[in-house]
Structure 1
Amino acid sequence: MKTIAVIESCDTKFKEAKFISDFIKNEGLNALVINTATGPAPSYNYDISREEIAESYGTPWEEMKPKSKGEKIDYMKDAVAAYVVKLYEEGKIDGIISVGGLQNTVMAANAMQKLPIGFPKVMATTVASGTRKFDLVVGDKDITVMPAICDFTGLNIVTRQVISNACACCVGMVKCAGQVLTKGDKPVVAVTLMGVTNTGAVAAVEELEKMGLEVIGFHATGVGGATMEDMAANGLVDGILDLTLHELTSEYFGGGFSYGPKAKIRLVESVEKKVPLVISLGGLDFVDFSTSELPDRMDERKYMLHNANTAHIKILPEEAEALGKILAERLSKVTYPVKLLIPTKGMRHNTLEGQELYEPKSDSVLIQTIIENVNDNVEVIVIPHNLDTPEFGVKAAHYIVDEMKKQGKLPQNFGEN
């Protein structure tokens, strides 16, 4: 019988824990309730005690008692994750669900984020509300998130329905889908893109698919690029066509629509694993900020409205130099041959002469800084097109195929028929 792990603080959410467990069992599956409570009140309706969780991670609960609430939560967050991963690796769970507030969400989400893509994960949470971003909950994994609407203070007409829907979602995935992501028969190429590089990237995707490759597009605005890096590190990607490195610009500015801590792993994990790599400069030349939180020196900057709430802002020459050095520093870790494609007519759309974000000085400084600072393993190739054009995308597709051939990821005669 398939089993769904239920992560709950069974001191305050013991009614919800029983409701979830009963729902799952009524659907013909097994429920395994894991208690994450850290407070002094007694717990009920669980299968795995907090004492077992704590001790399995190396510390008896008796030693945890004198610690502060924050220290207990921090310890149990990692202890629960380790316990859940062990259950998964031993084939004892087929899905995972949790409902709760911030404390339970932090613990449950941390565990869910350690599980592979495709494994059923459902989180009903009070955190998914207001202006809060989902990054706290989902990280770079496929966690299904359901807003709680009201607080979980017991069972009522709202919580019963929200929890029932969350349970039905997880049960449905376990029964009807729930396959952990695995590679198929075709070699896999990852391509990074965003709206302003979409035309060039899609042309590359279509060319690669025409040659018989499996292609996955990753949206380079937040966690897309980081997810790609993680998949590459786990052997799910055979080659990377990293056309869009916009997250690096957001990382430099420390904000913007595409900002997130995951940017720090861009060009790190994939390089460490020596995945065949062709990169370009898509999106490096601008930053996207809400119109209510624009950066300083706007009187010196060229910008355009992406929509009513977001502005695309061209970087200044000194910022371009700094970004060029950041990219070169990331590439300094490269110990195998990679290609860097330089588009001479713009790194996104709206950057040709006469268009809103045309600023040749910034582009020139960025390109020159990169060229002067990359190491000898990086082959610089100049392409006289705007990156966001079909011509650029098709050329880029053939460059990544060539790299994959050289590294034995594709046969030498691939694409010649």
Structure 2
Amino acid sequence: MASSSTRAAYVVGTFDTKSRELLYIRQCLEKLGLRVVTVDLSTSGKPSSASVHPREVARHHPVGERAVFTGDRGSAVTGMAIAFEHFTRSRRDMGGMISAGGSGGTSLATPGMRALPVGCPKVMVSTMASGDTRPYVGPSDICMMYSVTDVQGINRISERVLANAAHALAGMIIHPVAESPTVKPALGLTMFGVTTPCVQAVTKRLEDAWDCLVFHATGVGGMSMEKLVESGMLAGVIDVSTTEVADEIVGGVLSAGPTRMDVFARHAVPYVGSCGALDMVNFGAFDTVPERFKSRTLYRHNPSVTLIRTTADECRLIGEFIATKLNAMTGPVRFLMPEGGVSAIDKPGQPFHDPQADRALFAAIEAGFRTGSDRKLIRLPHHINDEAFANALVDAWNEVSRKPASTLRA
């Protein structure tokens, strides 16, 4: 990242249709003393008023600008979004980024914003910001601001909203947060409500030596953790709650996608994992549960969340998925299986207690897993929230991270 004296505010968008609004943002930023770079993401071929022409952006596409200016609007927009992501990664004076637009402009600008590291300021003024923003924000820290009116002209509303957005970006660039003085390496952990006691116990034992970053395994949580691994910001992971895999396999609403865990094949960081909350698939309120699941074992976690118990057949598929991912990892691996239950509601007397399904899960992982000198599968008789299981996770982490004995549990 460039120093504060050389960093620029990037104003990006489709200048063929939104030039008045984008230039107004530029004006606000320049009045605050910031150097501004304007970037045009238009695909219409019209003359551009931006300092970076669309063709310059398009040349950053992996196969060149011909992949952007295709003559077909759909493929052109898709190609420009890819090109802009690569363009963003090439900039060395990036202080922050801001854009304004509708659904098309938002889809064009946000891939480039997501390519920026966490902590680099990014603001998206959008007509889409009052709905489901996950497709745009993903695992990033993009600030989405609802435009209220359409992003079309300067009026008494848009003037205030766009100026507020510009001032917000300027504040983040001009007054960056000082780097934390901590010298502790960062450790990622995944937690779900039903694995909270386990993760809290592990964190308590490790927090003196490690900066423990806990991620809520809601789909985007796992993606966020893995984005930090990709960015080199985590020294390793204790992936207690792999529950997002169950949603991916069965079709729940909290999947992190089919690439969950793939980052550890590209980055050889130490990995300790477990089966946290693989007994459940997540849906919204009860009436949103698909009809094909209505006869299954259901649990109303709260008015907004309904859980479905995974079957033995589904657990086999989940286990096969996890074993394949573990086998591809290039760093040291420890994967711990709690035979006493994988969540707070998977134990005797609880609604998701199903030893047969759990055995199918463990057997599938064990059958597919390739052991090695620094790759171990560990079966334990404990419940995932037992203190003994948390201790085992800590022991495994200390082994793979090769930290000094001072990090061991008391």
Q: TM-score, normalised by structure 2?
A: 0.90
Question: Which residue type is aligned with residue 102 of structure 2?
Answer: G
Summarize deviations over 1:67-115 as a string: whole Å, max 9, x none.
111232122222223333222xx2x231110011122111210111111
Distance 2:343 2:15 in 1: 52
1:325-340, aligned counterparts within 5 Å? 325-334=320-329, 337-340=332-335
Specify whether residues 174 and 71 from structure 1 end up closer, same or farther in structure 2 by C-alpha distance, changes over 3 A only. Answer: same
Specify whether residues 55 and 259 from structure 1 end up closer, same or farther in structure 2 by C-alpha distance, changes over 3 A only. Answer: closer
1:11, 1:41 within 8 Å by CA — same for their partners in 2?
yes
Residue equivalent to 1:348: 343
Tell me the SS of whatever aligns to 2:302. coil
Tell me the SS of whatever aligns to 2:39. strand
1:58-137, aligned counterparts within 5 Å? 67-87=71-91, 90=92, 92-130=93-131, 133-137=132-136
Specify whether residues 197 and 332 from structure 1 end up closer, same or farther in structure 2 by C-alpha distance, changes over 3 A only. Answer: same
Tell me the SS of whatever aligns to 1:13. helix
Specify whether residues 175 and 365 from structure 1 end up closer, same or farther in structure 2 by C-alpha distance, changes over 3 A only. Answer: same
Matched, 1:19 2:24: yes
Question: Which residue type is aligned with residue 201 of structure 1?
Answer: V
Distance 1:314 1:356 in 2: 9
Q: 1:370 aligns with which of 357, 365, 374?
A: 365
Specify whether residues 52 and 351 from structure 1 end up closer, same or farther in structure 2 by C-alpha distance, changes over 3 A only. Answer: closer
2:371, 2:377 within 8 Å by CA — same for their partners in 1?
no
Matched, 1:38 2:43: yes
Shift of 1:374: 1.2
Shift of 1:279: 0.8
Distance 1:76 1:64 in 2: 5
Question: Which residue type is aligned with residue 69 of structure 1?
Answer: R
Residue equivalent to 1:312: 307
Shift of 1:347: 0.8
Shift of 1:134: 1.9
Matched, 1:146 2:141: no
Shift of 1:183: 10
Distance 1:335 1:31 in 2: 42
Tell me the SS of whatever aligns to 1:98. strand
Distance 1:39 1:182 in 2: 45
User: How well do the aligned residues superpose, as a CA RMSD in angstroms?
Assistant: 2.5
Matched, 1:266 2:260: yes
Shift of 1:207: 0.8
Q: 1:386 aligns with which of 383, 387, 408?
A: 383
Question: Which residue type is aligned with residue 340 of structure 2?
Answer: K
Residue equivalent to 1:29: 34
Summarize deviations over 1:241-295 as a string: whole Å, max 9, x none.
11010111111023x231243xx22222123322111111001111011223324
Summarize deviations over 1:214-238 as a string: whole Å, max 9, x none.
1111121112222222322333222
* Range 297-306 or range 138-147, more displaced: 297-306
Specify whether residues 95 and 112 from structure 1 end up closer, same or farther in structure 2 by C-alpha distance, changes over 3 A only. Answer: same
Uncovered stretches (5+) of structure 1, i.e. residues with no partner = none
Shift of 1:310: 1.7
Residue equivalent to 1:8: 13
Specify whether residues 121 and 66 from structure 1 end up closer, same or farther in structure 2 by C-alpha distance, changes over 3 A only. Answer: closer
Question: Which residue type is aligned with residue 389 of structure 2?
Answer: F
Distance 2:199 2:390 in 1: 6
Shift of 1:164: 1.6
Matched, 1:403 2:400: yes
Tell me the SS of whatever aligns to 1:47. coil
Question: Which residue type is aligned with residue 283 of structure 2?
Answer: F
Residue equivalent to 2:278: 284
Residue equivalent to 2:253: 257
Specify whether residues 371 and 55 from structure 1 end up closer, same or farther in structure 2 by C-alpha distance, changes over 3 A only. Answer: closer
Question: Which residue type is aligned with residue 197 of structure 2?
Answer: T
Question: Which residue type is aligned with residue 315 of structure 1?
Answer: T
Q: Kindly, what percent of the aligned residue pairs are identical?
A: 28
Shift of 1:65: 5.9
Tell me the SS of whatever aligns to 2:184. coil
Distance 2:75 2:46 in 1: 17
Distance 2:85 2:109 in 1: 8
Summarize deviations over 1:175-202 as a string: whole Å, max 9, x none.
11267x8995212221111111111111
Question: Which residue type is aligned with residue 191 of structure 2?
Answer: L
Question: Which residue type is aligned with residue 200 of structure 2?
Answer: V
Residue equivalent to 1:223: 220
Total equivalences in the alignment: 401
Distance 2:77 2:295 in 1: 47
Distance 1:333 1:41 in 2: 47
Tell me the SS of whatever aligns to 1:229. helix
2:70, 2:76 within 8 Å by CA — same for their partners in 1?
no
Specify whether residues 336 and 105 from structure 1 end up closer, same or farther in structure 2 by C-alpha distance, changes over 3 A only. Answer: closer
1:226, 1:265 within 8 Å by CA — same for their partners in 2?
no
* Range 378-387 or range 350-359, more displaced: 378-387
